[in-house]
C-alpha cells in the first residue's frame, strides 16, 4: 500500500525516491493506521521533501486514502508535450506589437562561412534548418562565471599569510620538532551564483525558444545556477532544465510553464522573485540576468521599485533585450525605461553572437 501511494505521488510529479517508500512503511509501523491525521503527517514527514510538493501531496492523499472522488485536476495526465523547437515559420511575422523585426543585414562576403552568417542572424528570422544548427552550436556554449573570494582556506605555496598550523606541525617532525618550514593558507575563489529570469510572454516568442536553450546550456555547464520563467507568474524551471539532453530539458521546462506566450507583468514577476526567492538569499551576491524586451502590462513604478530591491542585494544585473540590436532602438518602452537605471549591463540578445557576448559579460 505504501508502495502504491508512492507511485501515485510520482505520477503527479513529486520526486519520491525508493528509500522513502520503505521509510514510509516503517514509519506507519510505528504510528499505526488508526488515525487519518497520523497517517497524513507520517506521509508528509517521509515522502515530501519540499514545501512546493505539499499541495500535490494533499490532493493525492485525499483521493488515495479516502477513495473520495477528487476534483478534476487530481487525475492528471502528464501534460501535453509542447514541441517548441521546430515550427519557426520560414518567412516570419513581425515579432511583437511594435512590429519591428531586428535583422542583421546579412553580410555576404566570400570570407564568411555559413556558420558565421548563422551566428549573426537574428533568431526571429531563422528557418527550421538554421534553428537545428543553432541549437547544436548553443549546446557548446560554456559559461564561466564571475568569481568571488571563498571562505574556505586552502593550502598554498606562498611564504606569507595565514599560517597553516596543521601542515607546519607535520613538517616540523622532520626537523625534530622545530618548525623550520612553515606552511601557509590562502583564500580560494568560488563562482558567484547565476540567476536567469526569462520573460516568456508573447512578444518574446521567437527569442524565448532560443533563450531557453541558453538557459539549459548554463545550467548544465556549471553549478549554482537558477532559472525562472516570468510571464503572468513566476515559475522555477531549474530542475526541469537539468537533464543533459537539451530537447528533453526544454520540453520539460515548457510543460512546467503554464503561461507561455501570455501577457507580461514584469513588475509583478520580479516582485514574486524578490519575495519568494531573492530575499531568502538566492539573489544575494549573485549575477542576475533578465531576458526581456521590456514590454510590460503592469505599472512601471512597481517594476522600478522591485528592480531597486533586487539591485540592493545582487552583485550585478544584466538585462538582455533582443530589440536592442534593431536599428533606431531606444529604450522608450515604459517598463524598460523604469528598469534601466538599476541595470549594470544592457546587452543585445538577438543572435548567437550576442549570446556568446552575453556569456563573456557574465563571466566578468
Partner 1 sequence: MPDTVGEVSKGLADHEYLADEGLATSIFLALRLQRPLLLEGEAGVGKTEVAKVLARWTGGELVRLQCYEGIDASQAVYEWDYSRQLLHLRAVEASHEQVDEDELYSERFLVKRPLLRALAHDGAVPPVLLIDEIDRADDEFEAFLLEILSDWTISVPELGVVRAEVPPVVVLTSNRTRDVHDALKRRCLYHWIAHPDFERELAIVRLRAPEVPELLARDVAAAAEALRGLELYKPPGVAETIDWAAALATLGRARLDEAAVDATLGTILKYREDQERARAHGLAQLVRAAVARGA
Draw the binding track, 140-169, toward partner 1 (x: CB under 8 A; -: no contact): ----------xxxx-----------xx-xx
Between CA 131 and CA 275, with CA 364 as vertex, the angle to 5 degrees is: 80
Size of the site for partner 1 (CB under 8 A): 44
Residue window 251-290: x/- pattern of binding to partner 1, with contact defined by CB under 8 A: -----------------------xx---xxxx-x------
Q: Is 172 in the site for partner 1 (CB under 8 A)?
A: yes
Which has the closest alpha carbon to 307: 281, 350, 278, 349?
278
Q: 4 exposed, middle or buried (CB, 10 Å; 0-12, 13-18, 19+)?
A: exposed
What x/- string results for residues 207 through 246 when contact with partner 1 is judged by CB under 8 A?
----------------x-----------------------
- Considering only 27-35, 67-75, 210-218, 251-259, which stretch makes contact with partner 1 by CB under 8 A? 27-35
| The pairing of beta strand 345-348 with beta strand 147-156 | unpaired
Please tell me whether residue 360 binds partner 1 under the rule CB under 8 A. no
Looking up cell 605555496 gives: 157
- Strands, sheet with 345-348, edge to edge from the N-terminal-most edge strand: 234-236, 225-230, 194-199, 287-291, 316-321, 345-348
Say whether residue 60 binds partner 1 (CB under 8 A). no
The DSSP code for 276 is: I
Q: Residue 189, interface with partner 1 (CB under 8 A)?
A: no
204 binds partner 1 (CB under 8 A): no
Separation of alpha carbons 270 and 114, rounded Å: 39
Closer CB to partner 1, 193 or 324, in the complex:
193
Which residues have C-beta within 8 Å of that of residue 31, sequence separation ≥ 6? Answer: 38, 39, 42
Please report how close the Cβ of residue 346 comes to partner 1 at its closest, in angstroms.
26
How far apart are alpha carbons 342 and 319 in whole angstroms?
A: 10
| Rounded least distance, CB 30 to partner 1, Å | 5
| Secondary structure element (H or E) that encloses residue 26, with its range | helix 18-31
Name the site residues for partner 1 (rule: CB under 8 A): 15, 17, 19-20, 23, 26-27, 30-31, 37-38, 41-42, 44-46, 48-51, 54, 150-153, 165-166, 168-169, 172-173, 176-179, 223, 274-275, 279-282, 284, 309
Amino acid at each position: 500500500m505504501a508502495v502504491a501511494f508512492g507511485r501515485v505521488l510520482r505520477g503527479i510529479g513529486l520526486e519520491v525516491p525508493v528509500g522513502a517508500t520503505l521509510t514510509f512503511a516503517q514509519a506507519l509501523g510505528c504510528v499505526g493506521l488508526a488515525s487519518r491525521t497520523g497517517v497524513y503527517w507520517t506521509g508528509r514527514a517521509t515522502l515530501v521533501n519540499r514545501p512546493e510538493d505539499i499541495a500535490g501531496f494533499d490532493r493525492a492523499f485525499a483521493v488515495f486514502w479516502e477513495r473520495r472522488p477528487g476534483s478534476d485536476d487530481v487525475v492528471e495526465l502528464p501534460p501535453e508535450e509542447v514541441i517548441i523547437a521546430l515550427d519557426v515559420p520560414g518567412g516570419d511575422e513581425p515579432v511583437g506589437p511594435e512590429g519591428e523585426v531586428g535583422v542583421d543585414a546579412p553580410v555576404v562576403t566570400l570570407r564568411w562561412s555559413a556558420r558565421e552568417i548563422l551566428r549573426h542572424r537574428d533568431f526571429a528570422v531563422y528557418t527550421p534548418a538554421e534553428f537545428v544548427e543553432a541549437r547544436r552550436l548553443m549546446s557548446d556554449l560554456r559559461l564561466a562565471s564571475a568569481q568571488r573570494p571563498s571562505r574556505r582556506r586552502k593550502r598554498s605555496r606562498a611564504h606569507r599569510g595565514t599560517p597553516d598550523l596543521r601542515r607546519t606541525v607535520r613538517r616540523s617532525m622532520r626537523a625534530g620538532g622545530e618548525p623550520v618550514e612553515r606552511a601557509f593558507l590562502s583564500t580560494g575563489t568560488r563562482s558567484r551564483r547565476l540567476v536567469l529570469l526569462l520573460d516568456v510572454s508573447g512578444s518574446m516568442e521567437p527569442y524565448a525558444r532560443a533563450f531557453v536553450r541558453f538557459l539549459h546550456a548554463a545550467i548544465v555547464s556549471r553549478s549554482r545556477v537558477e532559472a525562472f520563467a516570468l510571464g503572468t507568474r513566476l515559475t522555477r524551471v531549474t530542475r526541469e532544465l537539468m537533464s543533459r539532453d537539451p530537447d528533453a530539458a526544454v520540453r520539460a521546462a515548457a510543460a512546467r510553464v503554464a503561461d507561455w506566450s501570455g501577457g507580461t507583468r514584469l513588475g509583478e514577476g520580479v516582485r514574486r522573485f524578490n519575495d519568494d526567492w531573492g530575499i531568502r538569499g538566492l539573489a544575494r551576491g549573485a549575477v542576475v540576468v533578465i531576458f526581456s524586451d521590456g514590454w510590460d502590462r503592469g505599472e512601471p513604478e512597481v517594476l522600478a521599485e522591485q528592480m531597486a530591491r533586487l539591485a540592493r542585494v545582487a552583485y550585478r544585473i544584466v538585462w538582455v533585450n533582443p530589440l536592442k540590436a534593431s536599428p533606431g532602438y531606444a529604450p522608450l518602452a515604459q517598463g524598460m525605461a523604469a528598469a534601466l537605471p538599476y541595470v549594470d549591463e544592457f546587452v543585445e540578445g538577438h543572435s548567437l553572437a550576442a549570446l556568446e557576448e552575453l556569456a563573456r559579460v557574465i563571466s566578468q
